[in-house]
Structure 1
Amino acid sequence: MIEKPLIRLAVVGLGMATKPHLDALAELKGRVAVSGVFNRTRSKAVAVQEKFGFPVFDSLEAIAADAGTDGVIIATPPNQRSEIVAQMAAAGKHVLMEKPVERTLSAAQDIVALCEVNGITLGIVFQHRFRQAARRLKILVDSGELGDLALVRAEIPWWRDQAYYDVAGRGSLERDGGGVLISQAIHVLDLMLSLTGPALTVQALTATTRLHKMETEDFAAAGIRFENGAVGSVVATTATYPGEEERLVLDGTKATAVLKGGQLTVTWRDGRTESVGEASGTGGGADPMAFPCDWHRDLIEQFAVAISENGPAAVSGREALRVHALIDAITRSGQSGVQVDVESV
């Protein structure tokens, strides 16, 4: 464990997605320091100050100029990311950013390249990788204990009511870059790719169901071929009431692993079984933030260590491009109705 503050982080953007970050930073007190928070609506920053005691910055320029700030957590809507990252990278501030990297694959690539040119550590918040059950599954895959991967099934049967999409810009191309794929399913898809390796081709269907009025998709289904020879499927939606836990199934030649929410069950062909993890909310129902802050806490602490030791973030910006490329391919295939290649990143 870290015994003293490694870095001082500022938090930019104090919307809904910031809650687990703030709770995690409070738990990390004494190990990671908060140099201040900033929000364009100052009243939100003052409310956070009153609750957590974190200082308030008056502007992005003040954060960039602050010698005591080593990095920033950016939790703004996606359409604000490029400008903020450019400003912070120019000032030498490392960046831990909420998903997605940007609204499109090309814009995400630009951000990653910008940080690399400036020598900035760029980490992306894919907290599902930090669940105990997901970590155990990663070990089983990497060690070969599941055997050769044959089939992959990702199911994200989540729910968002219309009020969620009535918030200005939510589910739009201009602000978010898409619907269920880039805003919700991206977490499970990133975890999937961290286990399977890159996807090769996609055949998809995307749609907006009659349950929502929104610009982009609330349903996506895709068949995928992976570079390692496995095949698989993805079904993602925010139109399943009242919402269920996501499920990721890996069928190998030696065992089948089922990761449902925060619980992993492995059944080997020789009759052995293993269960890891515990039931916990994942944000799949009416409350998108109904999950603990533990995963964010571990992710932020790892980011602090990465900066201190000049190492990579747990999920770097460049690694995050893989899930952006997959989402881009699913979207293109859904629009064209034909199989498409996943861009190599």
Structure 2
Amino acid sequence: MRKTRIAIVGAGLAATPHALALKELNDEVQVVGVVGRSPERLKHFASTHGFPVSESFDAVLNDRSVDAVLVLAPPNTHLELVERAAAARKHVLLEKPLDISMTRAERTVQVCRDAGVRLGVVFQNRFRPAVQRLAALATNGTLGPIAFAGVDLRWWRPQSYYDEPGRGTYARDGGGVLMTQAIHSLDILLWLAGDVSEVVAATATTALHSMEAEDFASAALTFESGAAGQILATTAAFPGFPERIDLIGENGTAVLEGGHLRVFFRDGRVDEFKDPSSSGFGAKPMDFSHTAHRDLLKDFVAAIREDRAPLATGDDALRVQRLIERITANTERRP
């Protein structure tokens, strides 16, 4: 079978787990080139992982043998990069979020749909073993109808993290803890509990960080199913704790903390599953295994070959960003 040929756009913080994952998939994927804005960072990344450097993004797009692009550039560049890739008939795997505003995010999804190319989004947590087990419980009826679903994300980022140019700004990132960190858990929440009909929320920038966007958000939710919900997300909780997702169903309660899943059934049974992988909840954002990225990339490649949607789609990402927009709707500083 011919290998799927992928080019990488961006060699920043998010690129390392993808690189490690792609090297494990070298039987079915070939990295044909890497492009980026920083020559020094690009050279270091490519040499570290043994990838070739492409002359330019135009060269990637003009190469008819390239099947897809993996876009890992800053969020505020996504739309234009995806527009050009879709016009060149390249499939796109895009790091979250889609872009920095709903208008740009919706356009990002639409251009791929109009061009007939696949758009996958890097929601790698869907592929973590404990999340997969939780998803099965929620979708196969084991938990019964869901009465409550919640996310509790108490992470830590030092000020040095936000001192990096563009971090936690609306112009580059589109927001703070919700768009950059909690977006993964919110994706799982909507995937398993469905869409939200009502939101009552508040956001803030605590005294622990100097940054433009929020480092704290809370919300009370009502899902379209009638279930209640709750969100708490912050990057101001030193030293950082594993994120928690709760699903309370008619037959029992499932509690997922990091990779530790416990299910308490009303008949007295208790099921437990432990996945040792972390999620970068402390001062080291990339302190996690690349295994979930590998499985996401494998699914994306299979989606291209089988002409089907990947597990995490652009429409899934739109759902999450719409919820984030509703949570931050009363944030006066948001443009």
Give the shorter-chain TM-score range.
over 0.9
| CA distance in structure 1 between the partners assigned to 2:332 and 2:240 by the alignment | 26
CA contact (8 A) 2:3 2:27 kept: no
| CA distance in structure 2 between the partners assigned to 1:173 and 1:49 by the alignment | 30
CA contact (8 A) 1:6 1:304 kept: no
Match of 2:119 in 1: 122
Structure 2 unpaired stretches of 5+: none
Equivalent positions of 1:134-145 (< 5 A) are 134-145=131-142
The worse-fitting range, judged by mean Cα deviation, of 318-327 and 50-59 is 50-59
Q: Is 2:67 the counterpart of 1:70? A: yes
Q: Deviations over 1:169-197 (max 9, x none)?
A: 11001000000010100000001110001
| CA distance in structure 1 between the partners assigned to 2:60 and 2:147 by the alignment | 48
Match of 1:189 in 2: 186
Q: Deviations over 1:32-83 (max 9, x none)?
A: 1111111111222222232222111121101100122100100011011111
CA contact (8 A) 1:10 1:73 kept: yes
| CA distance in structure 2 between the partners assigned to 1:309 and 1:147 by the alignment | 33
Residues matched between the structures, number:
333
Match of 2:36 in 1: 39
Match of 1:24, SS state, is helix
Match of 2:304 in 1: 307
| CA distance in structure 1 between the partners assigned to 2:233 and 2:224 by the alignment | 22
CA contact (8 A) 1:12 1:76 kept: yes
Equivalent positions of 1:4-43 (< 5 A) are 4-43=1-40
What is the CA distance between 1:333 and its match in structure 2?
Answer: 4.3
Match of 1:343 in 2: none
Structure 1 unpaired stretches of 5+: 337-345
Match of 1:203, SS state, is strand
CA contact (8 A) 1:112 1:318 kept: yes
| CA distance in structure 2 between the partners assigned to 1:179 and 1:5 by the alignment | 41
Q: Deviations over 1:67-119 (max 9, x none)?
A: 22100100011011111111111100000000000111221111101110011
**Structure 1 counterpart of 2:245, which letter?**
L
**Structure 2 counterpart of 1:132, which letter?**
P
| CA distance in structure 2 between the partners assigned to 1:277 and 1:97 by the alignment | 29
Match of 2:197 in 1: 200
| CA distance in structure 1 between the partners assigned to 2:100 and 2:45 by the alignment | 28
| CA distance in structure 2 between the partners assigned to 1:333 and 1:198 by the alignment | 20
1:291 aligned to which of 288, 292, 315 = 288
Match of 1:230 in 2: 227
Structure-1-length-normalised TM-score: 0.94
| CA distance in structure 2 between the partners assigned to 1:277 and 1:76 by the alignment | 33
Cα 1:333–1:202, aligned 2, differ >3 Å: closer, same or farther? farther
**Structure 2 counterpart of 1:50, which letter?**
S
What is the RMSD computed on CA atoms of the aligned residues? Answer: 1.2
Structure-2-length-normalised TM-score: 0.97
Match of 1:217 in 2: 214
| CA distance in structure 1 between the partners assigned to 2:174 and 2:284 by the alignment | 22
**Structure 1 counterpart of 2:73, which letter?**
T
Match of 1:253 in 2: 250
Match of 1:329 in 2: 326
CA contact (8 A) 1:219 1:239 kept: yes
1:151 aligned to which of 148, 152, 165 = 148
Match of 1:248, SS state, is strand
**Structure 1 counterpart of 2:106, which letter?**
Q
Match of 1:339 in 2: none
CA contact (8 A) 2:153 2:234 kept: yes
Match of 1:16, SS state, is coil
1:106 aligned to which of 88, 91, 103 = 103
Match of 1:342 in 2: none
**Structure 1 counterpart of 2:263, which letter?**
V
| CA distance in structure 2 between the partners assigned to 1:127 and 1:332 by the alignment | 27
| CA distance in structure 1 between the partners assigned to 2:316 and 2:126 by the alignment | 13
Cα 1:166–1:335, aligned 2, differ >3 Å: closer, same or farther? same
